[in-house]
Structure formats: C-alpha cells, structure tokens
Amino acid sequence: MKRVLIANRGEIALRIVRACHEEGLEAVAVHSAADRTSPHVRAADFAVPIGPASPTESYLSIPRLLEAAEASGADGVHPGYGFLAERAAFAEAVDGAGLTWIGPPASAIRAMGDKTEARRRMEAAGVPIVPGAVAPLTDAGAARSLAEQIGYPVIVKAAAGGGGKGMRVVTAAEELEPALVAAGSEALKSFGDASVYLEKFIERPRHVEIQVLADAARTVHLGERECSIQRRHQKLVEEAPSVAVSDTRRERMGAAAVAAASAVGYRSAGTCEFLLAADGSFYFLEMNTRIQVEHPVTELVYGVDLVREQLRIARGLPMSVASRPLHPRGWAIECRLTSEDPANGFLPSTGRIEYLRPPAGPGVRWDSGIDVGNDVTLYYDSMLAKLIVWAPDRPQAIARMRRALEELVLVGVATNQGFHVRLMDDEAFQQGDVDIQFLDRRSDLLEPRPDTDRELQLAVAAALAEDAARRARRPLVTADGDGSGAWGRLARQEALR
C-alpha cells in the first residue's frame, strides 16, 4: 500500500492525511463542491471532486468513491468516522475492487452494526449486557411484555443505529407505543432500517468506553475514556482516564472489551462502549467499528498514534504497541467545538469563518477541518473542531482547557465555546461528579451567561479591530519603492488575472 484515499472530510480527513505522510504514504483527498477549499484538500497529495454538497451524492456514494480511487491510483481506502465508516457493504466493495480496506473486516462490522446481533454475541462471549431484547421487536405486544418483565424505565433503541439517533426513554406503559413509533421513524430516516429493540434504562450511569487495537496476532486494550457529558445522547466532552475507574476496574472492563473484539474476529482500532452503574457494575452497549471522534485523549495519555497503527495493521504489519500492560500517564480532556447556537436552543448555525485564532501553548492540541473563508453549511455534522489538552493531572488539565478556551477566537458562526467555559468552571464537573443525565439536571450550563459571554464578544471585537488596524498600518513594500517598477507591474497583472 502506497497511496491512501480518505473517504471522508473535515478534521478526521486532515488527521488521516497527516498520519499517512508520517507513515511515508501518499494521501488522496475527496471533496464535494462545498469542500473544495477545505484544509484536508489542500494538505493531501491529490484531490478528487466527487459531487455536489449533498452527502448522498458525494461522501455517501460508494460508486463515486471507488471511481475516485481508480482515477487517483489509490491502493488503500480509509473511511474515517461517520458517513460509510461502519457500512459493511463499503468494506466489501473496497475489497472487491482489489483495494486495501483500512479498518476491521466486513464481517466484524456487520456483526457489531446490528445491535441485537451484537448483544447476542456478547452474551455468548460472557460480556455483561444490559437486560433486554436480543432480537428486534416485531410488535407492540412483545414490547409491552418485555418491558413488564425487566421493569420500567426502559429505553427503545434503533437496531441498526448509534449516535443517539432512534432512541426514546419510556417511564410508563402508556408511553411505550408512541416511543416505538417515534424511534422507528427516526431510525428509518437515519439508517434506512426501522428495526428497534428494548433494554433496561440504567439510572444515572456513566458512559465509559474502552479503546481496543487488534492485529493478526493479538488484541489489546488502551484503557478507558469518560464520555458522560452528553446532550441528547451526543457527546460534548471526553476525557482519559476516568475518575470512576480504578486500576482493577480498568483491567476488568479492558478484558471484557478484548473478549468482545475477539468474538467477532476484529482487526484495526475499535471502541467498546459500556454503561458504568453507581454500584460499579458495567454493561456492554455497542462496539464502534472505526476510529472514534474522541481518540486523541487516548493517544495523549498512552503515547500511541491510533491512526498510524490502523495503517500499519492494514499493511499486514504488527502493531507497535508493547505487549506488556500499558498504564495512562497524566490526564487529557477533549471539547467538541460545534456550530450550534446555545442562545437559540442549540440550533445549527451557518455562515462563513471570518476570523480564526486557534489556541496554542504547552499541552494544547487543535484538531480542525476549518479555516478562514470556509463556509459552514447544514449539509454536514455541526462539529467544527476538537480542542484537546494534556496535563499531569485532572485539575491541571481543566485549568489548561479553561485557558485554551479563553484564547480561542472564532468569528462567523455561533458556537458552543461559552458552554465549555462554563462547564470547566462548574464545581460538580471539577469534582468528577457526572453521569449521562448530568446536563439534563444542569440546564443552566447550556444557557449563555451574560457576563462571560459578553466579555468574549468584546474580546473578539477587539481582536478584529486590532487586526484590521495592523493591516491598515502595514506598508506595501516593493523592490522599486513606489510600486511603479517590475515588481509592482507583476503584482497588478496578477491581480487583474
């Protein structure tokens, strides 16, 4: 494998381009009409247009992606996350075209992509699962019977889904049938499959996931990530390690994740998601058969480049991770910066990035797929960038994230930056007293705070004013002094073109 086509966009596409270059591989970017000037396109060695802005006509079109691979001479395909990353049909099409699929086998994707099939396999492998169905529900009567058996509250979930789509919490029998209809309808729109299943709703659990990595010879885990700060089942903040996971619990959860991956013949990087109850019991939720959005926090505390490991494994090379047990070093936190307007019910915000000053300094990582002049549209996910920090311990990591958020200046679209500042200042969060319903109880954190948000607006305005003034003061320097010589004429000619 010498040239990799990246079947994705935004920050993850740029992340993969960089990993390819560090592995000595050439990178091929694909782009819709809306993304032709995006950073991942400029960073790649080759770029291939694949259609209009609509994802169904570009990033979700398997024929167009395979045509782009053939046209560019790519011999490998990395799907990133989202879009077609967890579609077994795409993995099979890539294999069928004689290309190297940089991810798990299609059989593993299919087994874990069907949530009820995954639950059956995990139960057989001895991995603890939440009490509930191990097959899609066929009618409301069967759902009522199961709900009465396991007890309310229950949660209805899309069998083919993930990411919070097609999910409804039901607290009483009269709510069940409407929830089945609503969840099935949303599942059909999101995944093309209306199948749903039912499981016990665990009260106030933490969302803790285990990173696994598997090559042809062995499967290892790289500890946990805490992903409990969520809004409408969408993760907003992730950290590694978790304040709720001891060394002993980490090994128990890690062993369960390794067993889960081994049960489906897994290869490449993947993530097993668990619910961690207050009594210390944990239950398998699902396996994400791809690189995760939040993978950087694991990379920072374990010193492993997960995307480069994916590339190595796909080439038939052994992973470079040591065979001895690894232990987390320090603490990492990731905040997802999204183009959502907290002052308007977190509705998506669109516009053009007019000014961007990313944070920097010790222990700060900025994974972004945006640049000044890029348009933010409704066609794609609202995540603009990920701000990740590392520090020796959690209090210092929180303080560093707070400082980095203050440094960040982004003008052109509304974002959730203010929310992240408020969260870092929150005493309960600082103490690690969180669970997946934390933001349901703390809606105050979602509301703009006039004092700090106003200060941020003033800071942005001042930064823009200073930038404009600096540009106005900057003299135009030419080789001939007055701009009338050869350099000046050349500049005017270029401008006229």
Q: Which residues are catalytic?
A: 290
Conformational region of residue 83, where left means phi above 0, alpha means psi within -120 to 50, and beta covers everything else: left
For 126, 161, 201, 267, 481, the CA distances from 122, given in Å and listed in that order, are 6, 17, 18, 17, 75
Which tokens go with 351?
């516009």
Cα 156 to chain centroid distance, Å, stands at 23
How is residue 421 written in tokens? Answer: 């500042």
Contact predicate 337/383, CB 8 Å: yes
- Here the tokens at position 403 are 């400082």
Rg (CA), the chain: 24
Distance CA 149, CA 273 (A): 25
30 vs 32: CA distance, rounded Å: 7
Is 147 strand, coil or helix? helix
Which residues in 98-205 belong to E strands, given as ranges?
Answer: 100-101, 154-158, 168-170, 196-200
Burial class (CB in 10 A: 0-12, 13-18, 19+), 152: middle
Residues 6+ apart with CB under 8 A from 360: 366, 407
Whose CA is closest to 44, among 82, 4, 99?
4
- Measured distance CA(406)–CA(400) in Å, rounded: 10
Q: Is the peptide bond before 153 cis (omega within 30 degrees of 0)?
A: yes
Output the CA–CA distances (angstroms, integers) from residue 210 to 14, 313, 325, in the order listed.
24, 19, 14
**How far apart are alpha carbons 279 and 276 in whole angstroms?**
8
Element containing residue 423 per DSSP (H, E): helix 417-425
Q: What 3-state DSSP class applies to 359?
A: coil
The dihedral sign for the CA sequence 457, 459, 460, 462: positive
The rounded distance, in Å, linking the Cα atoms of 358 and 351 is 18
Let me know: does 47 contact 29? Beta carbons within 8 Å: yes
- Report CA dihedral (202, 206, 211, 217) to the nearest 10 degrees: -40
CA angle 449, 450, 455 (to 5 degrees): 105
Residues in the chain: 497
